[in-house]
Amino acid sequence: MVAKKALITGITGQDGAYLSRLLIDKGYEVHGIVRRSSDHNTARVDQLRTDSNQQAARLNLHFGDLTDSAGIMSIVESVQPDEIYNLGAQSQVDISFSTPLYTADVDGLGTLRLLEAVRVLGLANTTRIYQASTSDLYGKGSASPKCEQTPFEPNSPYGIAKLYSYWTCVNYREAYDMYVCNGILFNHESPLRGENFVTRKISSAVARIKLGKQDVLQLGNLDATRDFGFAGDYVELMWLMLQQDAADDYVMATGKLSSVREFARAAFAHVGIELRFEGSGLDERGIDAASGKTLLTVSKEFFRPTDVDLLVGDASKARQQLGWTPSTTLQELTAMMVDFDLQREQNL
Ligand code: NAP
Ligand code: G4F
């Protein structure tokens, strides 16, 4: 049987790494777009290239960038993919406030470039497309939990750029009958999460503090509340979405809430440190109940001009129509991340 071909933008990111492993295990020929960089940026998929010859033979990397229409067109033409997973993005919400134009170019127009490449190359009826949409689309809306019908009210340059992509995908599905799906993903984390995102910032700091390599962890909005899942569970649903009779949009979420403060408390607890919170606002501190030492402080530097206070999702549609449920609990996820960082720090 001829192997299916998948093209992944953002293959060097957290989700790209989990998804490429999943697809290779399913027998796919995987192609990934890698940004040109002055240094090595494929660390998250390097293991796939050395695990076994069979896996390495199924992984093909191409230099490209979502801001470069001609390059994207040329890669799509040469690969002729059965499935495209558009994971590439400037994905940091806080950074989008300082780079709004770049974020709009990559996260908004980048999707249009990909869809146009598929359409212009005559692949509209053969190539299925997954778009990495986001719970950040809901922004400041107060309805909770959020489902596919909940109105979008994005309040960051990132969320607004992703909103353009969301509707572009819906429009290409309706106008050109293309198989295009939006996965509206709530926060999903893992040991491969970038260290600028709050959960990994916490897990890596907890490991360093436990090992005596760092004194204090500085965070921003401790009250922010998120629906944290495990990235390894979420990539399975991305694939499932492209295997249906008809394209549709789905929320992916655990339905459970945790504040940043609670996540930090659980991460410290995992290494045997009981954190007691005192004070409020910028004066709030997390204190080691045993030693009385301050291990966590709040800094203005990590607050955003506008933030999303609470995000929790209702993934009933994915559960009922695709049989998908996330299997990893928040406690397991926290333990997995902290243990990974402890081991990494010990080996440094
Ligand atoms: P990530 O770890 O930040 O990875 C982003 C990927 O996009 C990286 O491979 C990055 O390349 C690539 N990229 C950045 N700019 C690019 C450009 N101009 N052209 C081509 N590629 C570019 O993000 P993730 O957590 O895996 O998320 C994957 C996707 O899901 C993103 O679109 C994100 O916005 C979306 N999403 C994520 C979550 C979440 O909680 N993780 C939730 C909802 C939606 P480099 O490695 O070179 O930087
Ligand atoms: O980890 P975060 O940066 O994730 P955020 O903003 O929710 O975005 C992530 O999830 C989205 C899905 O909703 C994705 F679309 C997006 O690509 C990305 O993967 O921040 C989570 C919360 C925020 O409210 C932030 O203000 O944590 C709060 N926070 C508190 N202190 C912090 C910090 N965030 C970061 N990054 N760093 C801090 O020190």
Among protein residues, the one whose CA lies closest to atom 38 of ligand 1: 187
| Angle, CA of 201, 63 and 97, to the nearest 5° | 40
The predicted pLDDT at position 103 comes to: 98
Q: Is the CB of 35 under 6 A from ligand 1?
A: yes
pLDDT for 242-252, tens place per residue?
A: 999 999 999 99
Q: Which residues of the chain have pLDDT under 50?
A: none
The predicted pLDDT at position 33 comes to: 98
- How far is the centre of ligand 1, averaged over its atoms, from the C-alpha of 104 (Å)? 14
Among protein residues, the one whose CA lies closest to atom 9 of ligand 2: 187
pTM of the model: 0.98
**Mean pLDDT for the chain?**
96
Sequence-ordered alpha helix ranges (H) in 60-134: 69-79, 93-98, 100-103, 110-120
- How far is the centre of ligand 1, averaged over its atoms, from the C-alpha of 13 (Å)? 5
Q: Is the CB of 68 under 6 A from ligand 2?
A: no
